[in-house]
A and B are shown apart, each in its own frame.
Chain A
Amino acid sequence: MMKPRIILDNKHFEITVTRLCYQLIEVHNDFSNTVIIGLQPRGIYLATRIQKKLQEILKKKDIKCGSLDITFYRDDFRQKELVPNKTNIDFIIEGKNVIMVDDVLFTGRTIRAGLDAMLAFGRPNDVELLVLIDRRLSRHLPIQAKYIGKVIDSISSEKVKVEWKETDGADKVTLLSND
């Protein structure tokens, strides 16, 4: 039986996203040379949320945000059944600072595939990683995020579930464990 434990509720979710935006602004100022890329399928919600919030704070409408599908770059596609999603990057990433966005950083394999997939679109100047939840004890690859919503300690058998207002009705992060 999976027992749920709430990691971020609706209120803290909002506070966390806002804090991540201000951390981004500290480094990237007005985002004139910076773009956001959300990883399909679940990273795009956070990416668009951050894009909207940044546009609100900076009072500008042209912060670029794209979505990137990594299915064809995965190292485990013959072990799992995977469904490809849409990639939509309608701007140039050559020479830009890229903020790669995903919801949960777990083994790091998704990000590894994401870096590969992104290079098919050009050579960015600088790539940073932003995640909502960092499961820091579960990494398989030497990959770390620069901007982190919340760090949690969890074991592999546990599951982190991120829910979004857009698709699930409310913003919420829960940890499901087997005990």
Chain B
Amino acid sequence: MTKLSTKHLLGIKELNADDINLILSTAESFKEVINRPIKKVPSLRDITIANLFFENSTRTKLSFELAEKRLSADVVNFSAAASSVKKGETLIDTVNNILAMKVDMVVMRHPNPGAAVFLSKHIDAKIVNAGDGAHEHPTQALLDAFSIKEKLGSIKGKKIAIIGDILHSRVALSNIFCLQKLGAQVMVCGPTTLMPKYIHSLGVKVEHDLRKALEWCDVANMLRIQLERQDIKYFPSLREYTMLFGLNKDLLDSLSKKIVVMHPGPINRGVEITSDVADSAQSIILDQVENGVAVRMAVLFLLAGRV
């Protein structure tokens, strides 16, 4: 397996296990590259990449931009707030105008689910989905898988609990697809109101008791409450949520084994996770960020390699 089966990275759902493993093994090589004195390779020097961010982002945007620059690609950035989108231009028009300036790849984040798929059907460039609404966030799932593999040696057979706002989380959906394809067992945990209606059809365990979920798992992936996507009240108060679903040091230390703690960021310290847990030795949150650059380099490299 030396080639991805897909032309775009729209979601983890479209990838097979071979694709995921190819991305992860290529990312290992890139992780070595970004730890060299000169962190740059010339692989994509003839490629121009547009980063289109129709939604706010710190980590993902910086991470993609660094990945692109370390592959020597030319990069143009675009954020919706400062663009003609505000004047009423449609998505296809915006992107076609950018492509008319000879761009080879598009990295896009958009608040609407399916925006990346929609775009891939209408334009002639390689698309990387950097998050589309509450649908998928494939590179986050890939970097989470990479970080788990790096920490625990393998993913097959491992137990991973995804805890928090599952309903509004694209990270949760992509992680479920990715981890299941790699042979892990996945559990989701959170308040009933924050579980998607069809969660059982994904073949995951569902738990509403945080302690039970933590006792079961090898890895706990803590998610943020996505208040900006919540149109109604899903739980009585943040304080109550924290008491029932927040991970603190006492709870972590009282478990029968040492689990690995992850968080895709941004963290709301004191809500889903306390500071002492986020900064503890069991947390691999900053490793996830470092691995994010390597994984995104791998994705861009492999997609660009497809003739």
Is there an interface contact between B37 and A120, defined as CB atoms closer than 8 Å?
yes
Is there an interface contact between A78 and B29, defined as CB atoms closer than 8 Å?
no
Question: Which one of B2, B25, B41 lies within 8 Å of A82 (CB-CB)?
Answer: B2
Chain B, residues 1-35, CB within 8 Å of chain A (1/0): the string is 01100000000000000000000011011001100
**Does B36 reach chain A (CB closer than 8 Å)?**
yes
Q: Which chain A positions have C-beta within 8 A of B26?
A: 84
Bound state CA distance, A122 and B301, in angstroms? 24
Nearest residue (CB) in B for A75 is B42
Bound state CA distance, A77 and B3, in angstroms? 12
**Does A59 reach chain B (CB closer than 8 Å)?**
no
Bound state CA distance, A79 and B46, in angstroms? 14
**Does A81 reach chain B (CB closer than 8 Å)?**
yes
**Does B38 reach chain A (CB closer than 8 Å)?**
yes
Is there an interface contact between B41 and A78, defined as CB atoms closer than 8 Å?
no
Q: Which chain A positions have C-beta within 8 A of B28?
A: 86
Q: Which chain B positions have C-beta within 8 A of A119?
A: 38
**Does A121 reach chain B (CB closer than 8 Å)?**
yes
Count B interface residues, CB 8 Å.
Answer: 20
Chain B, residues 261-297, CB within 8 Å of chain A (1/0): the string is 0000000000000000000000000000000000000
**Main secondary structure on A side of the interface with B:** loop
Bound state CA distance, A46 and B43, in angstroms? 27
Is there an interface contact between B2 and A81, defined as CB atoms closer than 8 Å?
yes
Q: Which chain A positions have C-beta within 8 A of B3?
A: 81
Is there an interface contact between B32 and A78, defined as CB atoms closer than 8 Å?
no
Nearest residue (CB) in B for A83 is B2
| Residues B22-70 near A (CB distance < 8 A) | 25-26, 28-29, 32-33, 36-38, 40-43
**Does A72 reach chain B (CB closer than 8 Å)?**
yes
Is there an interface contact between B2 and A120, defined as CB atoms closer than 8 Å?
no
Q: Which chain B positions have C-beta within 8 A of A69?
A: 29
Is there an interface contact between B2 and A72, defined as CB atoms closer than 8 Å?
no
| Residues A68-96 near B (CB distance < 8 A) | 69, 71-74, 77-79, 81-87
Looking at the assembled complex, report how far the CB atom of A30 sits from the nearest CB atom of chain B, in whole angstroms: 27
Bound state CA distance, A116 and B45, in angstroms? 14
**Does B100 reach chain A (CB closer than 8 Å)?**
no
| Residues A106-128 near B (CB distance < 8 A) | 116-117, 119-122
Is there an interface contact between B37 and A85, defined as CB atoms closer than 8 Å?
no
Looking at the assembled complex, report how far the CB atom of A120 sits from the nearest CB atom of chain B, in whole angstroms: 4
Count A interface residues, CB 8 Å.
Answer: 21
Looking at the assembled complex, report how far the CB atom of B2 sits from the nearest CB atom of chain A, in whole angstroms: 4
Q: Which chain A positions have C-beta within 8 A of B71?
A: 72
Q: Which chain B positions have C-beta within 8 A of A72?
A: 29, 33, 41-43, 71, 301
Q: Which chain A positions have C-beta within 8 A of B36?
A: 120-121
Q: Contacts A84-B26, A116-B42 hold; do A77 and B37 have CB atoms under 8 A apart? A: no
Is there an interface contact between A87 and B307, defined as CB atoms closer than 8 Å?
no
Is there an interface contact between B305 and A81, defined as CB atoms closer than 8 Å?
yes
Looking at the assembled complex, report how far the CB atom of A119 sits from the nearest CB atom of chain B, in whole angstroms: 8
Nearest residue (CB) in B for A117 is B41
Question: Which one of A86, A87, A120 lies within 8 Å of B40 (CB-CB)?
Answer: A120
**Does B304 reach chain A (CB closer than 8 Å)?**
yes
Question: Which one of B25, B29, B38, B304 lies within 8 Å of A87 (CB-CB)?
Answer: B29
| Residues B97-149 near A (CB distance < 8 A) | none
Bound state CA distance, A130 and B230, in angstroms? 65
Residues of A bordering B, CB below 8 Å: 69, 71-74, 77-79, 81-87, 116-117, 119-122
14 contacts between A and B (CB under 8 A): A71-B29, A72-B29, A72-B301, A73-B41, A73-B43, A78-B304, A81-B305, A82-B305, A85-B29, A87-B33, A117-B41, A120-B36, A120-B37, A120-B41
